Structure 1
C-alpha cells in the first residue's frame, strides 16, 4: 500500500512539473526563430523606437485626485524627465517585440548613451528623427532614399506621379526609381500600360483603367468598341467592336458526342449529357437527340426500358383487377338489382380513388398531396 501511494505521488509530481514546460521543440523553435530574425537596419531602428515610445505611454502618469494642483504639476513635471522614469522604460524595453526581439535588445545596449543624451537634453526632438535618421543614419525622411537621403522623383507633392512607389523610400537603401502600380508605366509612372487606357488626366492626376476583356493589346476607350484588336474567342465588328464568338453554333460541335455546349464570353464549356442520352442539346432526359442504350423515347422523354416495361405490366394487371371486380359483382348480385347497384357504385368509387391516387403520385413526387382530401373533394 505504501509503495503504491509513493508511486502515485511521484507520478503526480512529474505531471505537475511537466505541465508548465513545452516538451515539443517544434512549438518553441518557430518562436525562437522569430525572435532571432534579422530585420533591415531602418526597420530594426523603427521597432526599437516604437517599443521605447510604448514605454513612455505606459509610464505616463495622470494627476492625483484631490490635493494641491501646483504641487502635482511640479511633481509630475520632475518625474516626466527623471532618471527614475527612464529606468522604468528600459526595464521593459523590447518585451513587446516579437520579430527581431534579440536585435532590439542588442540595439538597446548599443544605444544606451544616445538614449541618455536624448532623454536629458533633446527630448523636445522626435526620437525617431534624432536616433534613426540623424545619429545612426539608418533611415531617411519620408520620400527620400539612399545613403545621402536624396528626394524621390516628383518630391514633395507628386512622387512617382502618385501612381507608384519610390524604391528605398524612407531608408538608406534603394535606387529611388519608381515601381509603378498596375496599369501604369514609365520612369515616373506617367503613362498607361499596354492593356489600359487613359480615362482621366489633368495637371496633377492621371487615371488608367483596364481595357475590356475582349481586347488583345491596347485600347482607346472603355468597352469592346475601344479595342485595337480582339482576343481569341472574339471577332471584330466594324460598328460594335469585339463581339463574342458562339462556338456552340460551329459545325461540327467542339464538344464530344455525349456532351452539350454552353457558350461563355470569349469561350465555351462542354457539359456531360444526362445518362439517358447518347447525344443531347441541353441537360435532362427530355433534351436528348438520341436515347442511350437501355432507354426508349416516350412522350419526348428518354425513359429506362425495363422501368417502362414494368409500369406497363403493372398497369395491365391493375386494369384486369378492376374488370374482374366488376364481372364478379354482376354475377354474384344479378338477382338483386339494388344490392348490385350499391356494390357496383362502391367498386366504381374504389377504382376512381385508386386511379386518382396513382395519377397524383406519378405527377408529384410529394405523396402527401395525393392524399389531400380537400383537393380531392374540390375536384
Structure 2
C-alpha cells in the first residue's frame, strides 16, 4: 500500500514538472499579439501622459479660501518641484496600451523631462515638439520623414501624395518617404488611377466587374472584357458557360455566375440532373424510376400513388359538399369554395410532387 502511494506521488510530481516545463517554453501570446510601438510612438505616448498629469495637477492642493493668497500660491506651485514629483508619480499609470514602454522611456528620460520642466515649463513650449522632435530626435514634424526629417513628396493640388496616399515614415525618423497609395491610385505621388480604375471628378473609381480596363462607369465603357465576358455591340455581356456541354461531371450540374460558372453535385438520389434538390433529376440508377424529376424505387412509387389517390378522394369529397351547399345557398357555397381552393393550393404547394404531375406520368406511361 505504502509502495503504491509513493509510486503515485512520484508520477504526479513528474507530470507536474513536465507541465511546468512546457509552460515555461511556450511563447507569451500577449507579447506576440501586441505590436511593439516604434520610438516615435513611445515618445508620443510619454508626452501625452505627461500633459495629462499636468492637467490633472493644474490646481494642486490649493483650493478655496482667500483668492489673492490662492493665486500667489498657485503661481509658485505651477512650476514647482512638488508639482513635478506629483506628475512623475502618476506618469504612465493611465496608459492602457504599451504602458511598459511608457514606463521604460519615462525612466530613461527623467533628467530630460526635469530640464524641460524647469527651463521651458508647461506653459511656454510644446512638450512633444521639444522632447520627441528636437531633443530625443525620435520623431519628425508632420509630413516629414527619415533621419534628417526630409519633406514628404507633394503631388497634385499641393497635397502630400496628392491626398490619395501616405508618406512612408511620416512623422518618424524611419521610412523612405515614398508614397503608399490608397486602393485605386497609382504613380509616384498617387496622381494616377490604378489599373481597372477610371478618373472622375478628381477621384478614381472601380470599373465595372466586366471590364479589364475602362474609360467610365458601366459595362459599355470597357476597353477590354474580362474572361467570362464577351464584347457585343460595344458592351461586355456575361457568357453563359453552362450552355456548353460536358463542363461538369455526369453527377454534377452547371450553375452560371457572372463572368464564371461552378459545378455542383446532384442530389444523391439522382444519377444525372439539371439543378439542385430531389426534383431536378434527369436520370436514375437502375433500381429507381424517374417521376417528374424525382428518382424513386417501387415502394416510394406505390406510396406516392396511394397518397395521390387519397388526395383525389378528399378533393372530390370537398367538391361534392360544395355542390350540395350551392343548391341551398350560393353565398355560403362561394365562401366554402374559397376555403377549399386555399386548402388545395397549399396542400399541393407543400407536396414534393403535385397531383397533376403524378396523373400526367401515369397517363404517359
SS for the counterpart of 1:50 is: helix
Matches within 5 A, 1:141-290: 141-154=141-154, 157-200=158-201, 206-216=202-212, 218-239=213-234, 241-250=235-244, 252-290=245-283
Greater Cα shift, 85-94 or 75-84 = 75-84
C-alpha contact 1:276 1:304 (8 A) present in aligned 2: no
Cα distance change, pair 75–31 in 1 and its aligned pair in 2 (3 A)? farther
Q: Which runs of 5+ in 1 are unaligned?
A: 1-23, 201-205, 317-358, 367-379
- Inter-CA distance 63–225: structure 2 relative to 1 (3 Å threshold): farther
1:292 to 285, 299, 305: 285
- Structure 2 matches for 1:13-28, cutoff 5 A? none
C-alpha separation between the residues in 1 aligned to 2:199 and 2:83?
58
Given that 1:197 and 1:209 are in contact with CA atoms closer than 8 Å, whether structure 2 keeps it comes out as: yes
Offset at 1:301? Answer: 4.4
Q: Structure 1: how far apart are the matches of 2:27 and 2:224?
A: 58
In the superposition, relative to structure 1, how do residues 256 and 91 fare at CA in structure 2: closer, same or farther (>3 Å)?
A: same
Residues of 2 paired with 1:295 and 1:275: CA distance?
A: 12
Cα deviations across residues 45-65 of structure 1 (Å, max 9, x unaligned)? 212212222322332338977
Does the Cα contact within 8 Å between 2:140 and 2:173 map onto a contact in 1?
yes
Segments of 5+ residues of structure 2 without an aligned counterpart are 1-22, 310-343, 352-365
- Residue number among 57, 67, 70 corresponding to 1:69 in the alignment: 67
Structure with higher Rg: it is 1
TM-score, length basis structure 1:
0.66
2:79 maps to: 81
Report 1:105-120 matches (<5 A). 105-120=103-118
2:211·2:219 contact (CA, 8 Å) conserved in 1? yes
Provide closer, same or farther for how the CA distance between residues 175 and 295 of structure 1 changes in structure 2, counting only shifts above 3 A: same
Aligned positions of 1:116-155 closer than 5 A: 116-123=114-121, 124-154=124-154
Root mean square deviation of aligned Cα: 3.6
Number of equivalent positions? 292
Cα gap change, 1:363 to 1:184, in 2 (>3 Å): closer
The separation in 1 between residues aligned to 2:221 and 2:308, in whole angstroms, is 66
User: Are the equivalent residues in 2 in contact too, given 1:259–1:279 (CA < 8 A)?
Assistant: yes
Cα deviation digits, residues 223-272 of structure 1 (max 9, x gap): 21222211111111133x2110001111x241222222221101112222
